[in-house]
Amino acid sequence: MATLPELARLHTRLSADQLSHLTRLVASWGILADLCFADLLLFVPVAGGDGRFIVLGQVRPTTSQTLHGDDLVGRIIDEAERPLVARAFRAGEIMDGEVAVTSRGGEPARLQCIPVRHRGEVMAVLTREAPLMVGRRPGELERSYIEVFERFARMLVAGGFPYPVDEGTTAESPRVGDGVLLLDEAARVVYASPNAVNALHRMGVYTNVEGARLDEVGVESNAIGEAWAAALPVTEELERRPDVIVLLRVLPLFDGRGGWAEPPVVTGAIVLLRDVSDVRRRDRLLLSKDATIREVHHRVKNNLQTIGSLLRLQGRRLVPGEGREALAEAERRIRAIALVHEILSREAGEQVPFDQIIGFLIRMAEDATISPDGPVRFTVDGVAGELPATLATPLSVVLSELLQNAVEHGYPDGSAGGHVHIALTNHGSRLEVVVQDDGRGLPPGFTIDRTRSLGLSIARDLVTTQMGGTITLSGTAGTCVVLDIPVPPPEALPG
């Protein structure tokens, strides 16, 4: 489905500033729908001036049943279909009437058309559409909410809503159903919804708050004063006790004054309250778990480095020969594994930026084989991206073995050195790694399945068994090793 900006560009003549104004309206009008217990539709004239309107937005209330079960966004209607919309747009005044709901077999519904003005110009009409109330008297909560909605409606007509600066609503933002306090122009509470009273009780406030300011009952909040001073919405998180956290959002009301031509005069506010104690407790548990996991990786890395140091000390006590070389190779493999745990100890999650590890592996190969007579140059092309730790750990060992093997066997003592090229291609579901050198190549009849090299045997077993991929070696004038490894999607990973 096309977005609001796309529909506006295709069908209307809204300027960039007007479109920004309507985008802010649609981003924050869920509160309006909840306050008026009705569906809201946004009508904008179609370019051409022939009396047609396009529906650029639609929102359903969470406090009541919806009137429109179908999606009306993108639908174009003419003046005959919605005459009251056209009349309200031309007159620039709020108009009330009825509309037949086609999705309900022509059932009549209450219709309120509210012009949306920006910088003195009417550019859209917001309609409030709700079932007719027959023989039912609204309660105090419903009357209070409707009264607040009417004040927002007058702000829409004057151009004072949506606010010029608003961070908008998020998944955590309090909604009308979470709790509402209505403040007068002196910031005193004139109405508190039952859910708002419950939230105050959770904060330790048991006195009747109606007629009092929040600071007088022990709720110290800077948000109310800031909202009054700036005439803008302010959100604040109040922590009364370690186990009670309430999110408070203050929306100033202008009662129709404060359009674009004059500074707004705050005449009251609506305060939305939401108890987010459970959400914050879960967030803290996740942070604690994440810190614990990083600490585990840090300790594993330290332990591996300790083992590597012990192997180096042991190797120095041996006479030059196979024993010392074997310990050096074991120490190098341990360092390759420790690299992954070092990165995981610094970053959250179980995804490893493998391109950082490649740089370390190349430096390890350079340090172990540096020779001024026959230097070996390493280059890297492509990007491996982020890989799960379960894949990054064995792959680090495999690449370390391949680079070490390329240098030792491709460029033996007395050679003029050469070039080892690493090419990486991440196809999303699989990773291709190519290690190509220009050394002396493979001996005749070589196959990796029958190799006697411990390093290549380790690489083969890790690729085929632990990573579920394939490894192929080829070449006589230089050696080319190709790894094809499946990469599990992040959602398939445990945890």
Express each pLDDT in 256-278 by its tens digit: 544 555 678 889 999 998 887 77
Whether residue 139 has pLDDT greater than 60? yes
The distance of Cα 100 from the centroid of its chain, to the nearest Å, equals 40
**What are the structure tokens assigned to 236, written together?**
């604040």
Domain boundaries 4-158, corresponding CATH code: 3.30.450.280
Full-model pTM: 0.61
486 with 429: CB under 8 angstroms?
yes
Q: For the chain, what is the mean pLDDT?
A: 83
Q: Do domains 4-158 and 353-495 have the same CATH topology?
A: no
76 with 43: CB under 8 angstroms?
no
**Strands, E, within 233-278: which ranges?**
234-241, 244-253, 268-275
- DSSP letters spanning 127-151: EEEEE---S----HHHHHHHHHHHH
pLDDT grade, residue 218 (50/70/90)? confident
pLDDT grade, residue 63 (50/70/90)? confident
- If you average pLDDT over residues 10-16, what whole number do you get? 91
The domain spans of the chain are 4-158, 176-275, 282-349, 353-495
Domain boundaries 353-495, corresponding CATH code: 3.30.565.10
Q: Which fold has domain 176-275?
A: Beta-Lactamase (3.30.450)
The pLDDT assigned to 70 comes to 86
Q: What tens digit of pLDDT does each residue of 145-195 get?
A: 999 999 999 999 988 889 888 766 666 778 888 889 999 999 999 999 999
The pLDDT assigned to 287 comes to 60
The pLDDT assigned to 258 comes to 45
Alpha carbons 327 and 347: distance in angstroms, whole number? 31
Q: Which residue has the tokens 């031309």?
A: 90
**CA separation, residue 287 to residues 280, 342, 492, 494 (Å):** 10, 19, 22, 18
The pLDDT assigned to 88 comes to 94
Q: What tens digit of pLDDT does each residue of 68-97 get?
A: 888 889 999 988 889 999 999 999 999 999
Whether residue 55 has pLDDT greater than 90? yes
Q: What tens digit of pLDDT does each residue of 458-474 get?
A: 888 888 888 899 988 88
In the chain, the percentage of residues whose pLDDT exceeds 90 is: 24
Please tell me the least confidently modeled range out of 122-136, 156-170, 187-201, 325-339: 325-339
